[in-house]
Homo-oligomer: A and B are copies of this chain.
């Protein structure tokens, strides 16, 4: 983040109902965003249950919630375990090679471009997303170099229409997930009301990459994990 940044007036954030983006929403409010729009996208993911958690978060934070049906786009995204029912969600650690199956091609450009479209047409001042350092090894569109290339692109693409000083906020990009858990604790984020699991069951499976990463983050942060995992029994 540059030192000259200021709290943005109206921020449009792409958000799931996950731990990272819920903490992002709380952070943006605490950081002084005068207006917050949370954009949840149903892109045909197995775990669209996350969006009901996002809607609840929006209510709590007095934010505007927009649920966008992009499920028609799933047909474009063959071969990802997140959108293609024929591809199994791999178990194990998030950084394993097998987790490459969970990469959705060009996901963050697409989601951010929807947020930018809304931001430009409503005169908003920034878009935001919850990419963090742990994502870098698998997802190329979660790296600082991506954020900068993206900011440059949308500034050029919308010249004359985009707000002066428009920002692409990725405040967690240098943080680990454990650090996000610690930040969320300070911000009173109700972690029990967030959803991470990629399997799309009724409870967190406790085995998939994101469940493994979620458990690990709470353990490393030494913060109580309120999640009810299938693997806990009960």
Chain A residues within CB distance 8 Å of chain B: 39, 66, 68-70, 72-73, 75-80, 103-110, 113-114, 116-118, 120-122, 140-141, 143, 145-146, 149-150, 152-154, 156-161
Max chain B Cβ within 10 angstroms of own Cβ: one of A78, A152, A153: A153
Provide the bound-state CA to CA distance between A68 and B110, in Å: 14
Given the contacts A146-B156, A156-B140, A156-B149, A106 and B120 also touching, CB distance less than 8 Å:
yes
Q: Which residues of B contact A80 (CB under 8 A)?
A: 121
A110 engages B113 (CB within 8 Å): yes
Provide the bound-state CA to CA distance between A177 and B164, in Å: 32
Closest CB of chain B to A109's CB: distance in Å?
5
* CB contact between A158 and one of B75, B106, B114 (< 8 Å): that residue: B106
Closest CB of chain B to A18's CB: distance in Å?
20
Max chain B Cβ within 10 angstroms of own Cβ: one of A39, A69, A76: A76
Q: Which residues of B contact A150 (CB under 8 A)?
A: 153, 157
Q: Which residues of B contact A145 (CB under 8 A)?
A: 156
Closest CB of chain B to A217's CB: distance in Å?
25
**Minimal Cβ-Cβ distance residue in B for A122:** B78
Question: What is the oligomeric copy number?
Answer: 2
B158 engages A121 (CB within 8 Å): no
B154 engages A152 (CB within 8 Å): no
**Minimal Cβ-Cβ distance residue in B for A69:** B72
**Minimal Cβ-Cβ distance residue in B for A141:** B157
Closest CB of chain B to A114's CB: distance in Å?
6
B76 engages A105 (CB within 8 Å): no
24 contacts between A and B (CB under 8 A): A66-B76, A68-B75, A70-B70, A70-B73, A77-B118, A78-B122, A103-B161, A104-B117, A105-B118, A106-B116, A106-B117, A108-B157, A109-B113, A109-B116, A109-B153, A109-B154, A109-B157, A110-B114, A110-B117, A140-B161, A146-B153, A146-B156, A149-B156, A150-B153
| A-B CB proximity, top 7 nearest | A105-B120, A69-B72, A141-B157, A106-B117, A76-B118, A140-B159, A153-B153
